[in-house]
Structure 1
Amino acid sequence: MGIVLEQAIDEFQELIDKVEEPLKTTFKNVHQGYLRETLIRFLKARDWNVTKAHTMLVECLRWRVDNQIDSILSKPIVPSELYRDVRDSQLIGISGYTREGLPVFAIGVGLSTFDKSSVHYYVQSHIQINEYRDRVLLPSVSKKNGRPITTCVKVLDMTGLKLSALSQIKLVTIISTIDDLNYPEKTNTYYVVNAPYIFSACWKVVKPLLQERTRKKVHVLSGCGKDELLKIMDYTSLPHFCRRGSSGSSHQTQSVDCFSVDHPFHQQLYNYVKHHYETQGQAEPAKQGSFHVGFPEPVAERVEMAKTIESKLHKFENCNGLSKPVDDRKASP
């Protein structure tokens, strides 16, 4: 790392050292002992402009305090039937780890319906997964690997993507904005798999709107992406939707659905949140309102992308064959 970048990190740290409570306490939950890596993430998100990175981080810390994010891992989504509904309609899970030790998050973009609960429960669930990743999972794998691991990879399954996605753009924009402003640079690489034609068409118009830093992270893979993903992870870490065409002679054909509420990751997360609620001296509530979080104003880039995608999807409203597999050569970024 160059001298100029080192100076930027040092200058940034001097500024952050001056923040007062309660921002100082919530910052500890953000960096989890990996202060330098955290400062670098915010600097990258603001193109190494120290002033802008400082403003971004302070606003993030204020958002955490104002919305009690530090306590969100003690706020279970109950009853359990509601949690199951959220998991069945907001498809996300962990399938394993890359050979470098990064968690592999699998996301069912095309088949997530977000139609079984209010927007607040979906946002609460998303933030809980973020916080569990950053405060429990990543510190654990860092200790196991003997080095800081502060990012993950995401495999985005576009199976089933269709025009109904139009109704989800607002919610997806809210969640994406929360990530952009408060969890920047937490994803090392995005792998897009099972992309239908409609994704290819949207990608062509959205790609130019992305910052170069983001564009370089996105890789659209051929088909289910199995061959490419096996270059960075073992077969057992492949998401279930990437295991098509596997030979039963060398691999176990039974795939574990990492989206399922019964998957070990979701069971561990739910039990962790439930335990932390109960340690407050209370029994599990039979019913509880959602954990309302203030929605930040979407950044200009997100607004433009949402409008572009919405416009593109409208053009397909009267078209047929939207599930046609994408021509992988045309989909490559």
Structure 2
Amino acid sequence: MAVTSQEAIHQLATLMEQVDELLKVTFKNMHQGYPMATLVRFLKAREWSVSKAHKMLMDCLNWRIQNHIDDILCTPIIPADLYRGIRDSQLVGLSGYTKEGLPVFALGVGLSTFDKASVNYYVQSHIQINEYRDRVILPAATKKYGRHIGKCVKVLDMTGLRLSALSHLKILTMISTIDDLNYPEKTQTYYVVNSPYVFAACWKVVKPLLQERTRKKVQVLHGCGKDELLKIMDYASLPHFCKSERNGSSSRVSSAGAGDCYSLDHPFHQQLYSYIKNNAPSQGYALLPKQGSLHVDVPTGDTEGTKITGMIQSKLHLIGDDSKLPSSLSVLHVDVV
């Protein structure tokens, strides 16, 4: 007999009541006052299988404990110049909010170089942004809009995407695995903009592999996506690379100072960095190594992200050297979803 969603939630909640106190503490840090919504996220990620969702959640809680994730917002990346280098090479930022109050995160997929620090630093920075989103940004949005807001939207800028991205697949796979297994169902929609030929070729391979619930979340927009995105957010919340129709323009060159949400000088990153420094124990902060990254174990699992990465790698090798692609292909876009 099939289990209804309410029965599944009840069963998983009952199982959670039986875990030890240490697991309950880190679970509380996760759910931020909305435990049932968190249970639903894990159930959705495992197609409403209570046993699979329970295992996924237990693995997540143990990963958090073993890697001190609850304390990661007390561990600044120092010195500031190192963190600035990370921000210049791992392009991500908060550009604003949708009309419904969901945070809008911008990601410079094509122009991120991941070449200013070790892999551990980029993983640490990514998790810190995840945790700051879940513990600070989303609760603040919930309070402002008077209803629970537990998800965000992401705008992925593919400007500059080349076959050299193969060198980034290792770190992207690590980040994807962490998100798949420990932060499931935190993104409502992925909007893909400024898509070159390389992305179009990969998307044709990747799309059939995605689960239906994931596939429905991805919308590939024409050009910079401005017209479509303005239906769900105000102009001020558009990422800077969506405010220009110049195809192929650099998302860094087209930015305007403080309007570049990737920059360490942007209010989001200033507030995030200050939050982490202010939460670091004063004595411990003074004793932190000047360039010692926090090592976080990447959980293992057969996730969509790892499967897709392998397929992308194979597809890119088949395409060959992008320097040989005809220039007319560099501006081709996949069909608008």
Pair 1:154-2:169 in alignment: no
Question: Which residue does the alignment assign to 1:301?
Answer: 304
CA contact 1:160–1:323 (8 Å) conserved in 2: no
Q: CA RMSD in A?
A: 2.0
Residue 323 of structure 1, CA deviation: 8.0
Range with greater deviation from structure 2 (154-163 or 272-281):
272-281
Query: Equivalent residues in 2 for 1:67-216 (5 A)?
Result: 67-216=67-216
Question: Which residue does the alignment assign to 1:321?
Answer: 326
Specify every segment of 5 or more residues in structure 1 that has no aligned partner in the other structure, as ranges: 247-252
Aligned residues: 325
CA contact 1:94–1:106 (8 Å) conserved in 2: yes
1:323 and 1:36 map into 2 onto residues whose CA distance is: 50
Which letter maps to 1:266?
H
TM-score, normalised to structure 1, is 0.93
Residue 296 of structure 1, CA deviation: 1.4
1:254-295 Cα distance to aligned partner (Å, 9 max, x none): 570111110000000000000011456643746041010011
Give the secondary-structure state (helix, strand or coil) at the position aligned to 1:331: coil
Range with greater deviation from structure 2 (194-203 or 278-287):
278-287
CA contact 1:197–1:323 (8 Å) conserved in 2: no
Question: Which residue does the alignment assign to 1:250?
Answer: none
Specify every segment of 5 or more residues in structure 2 that has no aligned partner in the other structure, as ranges: 247-254
CA contact 1:67–1:293 (8 Å) conserved in 2: yes
Question: Which residue does the alignment assign to 2:335?
Answer: 331
Residue 303 of structure 1, CA deviation: 3.0
1:187 and 1:131 map into 2 onto residues whose CA distance is: 14
CA contact 2:155–2:191 (8 Å) conserved in 1: yes
Question: Which residue does the alignment assign to 2:250?
Answer: none
Which letter maps to 2:92?
I
Range with greater deviation from structure 2 (17-26 or 75-84):
17-26
Which letter maps to 2:300?
E
CA contact 2:176–2:306 (8 Å) conserved in 1: no
Give the secondary-structure state (helix, strand or coil) at the position aligned to 2:14: helix
TM-score, normalised to structure 2, is 0.92
> Percent of pairs identical after alignment?
63
Which letter maps to 1:4?
T
Range with greater deviation from structure 2 (273-282 or 162-171):
273-282
Residue 326 of structure 1, CA deviation: 4.4
Question: Which residue does the alignment assign to 1:263?
Answer: 266
Range with greater deviation from structure 2 (201-210 or 319-328):
319-328
Residue 233 of structure 1, CA deviation: 0.2
1:71-119 Cα distance to aligned partner (Å, 9 max, x none): 0000000000100010000000000000000000000000000011100
Give the secondary-structure state (helix, strand or coil) at the position aligned to 2:231: coil
- Measured at CA, do residues 35 and 164 of structure 1 come closer, stay the same or move farther in structure 2, by a change above 3 Å? same
1:206 and 1:199 map into 2 onto residues whose CA distance is: 10
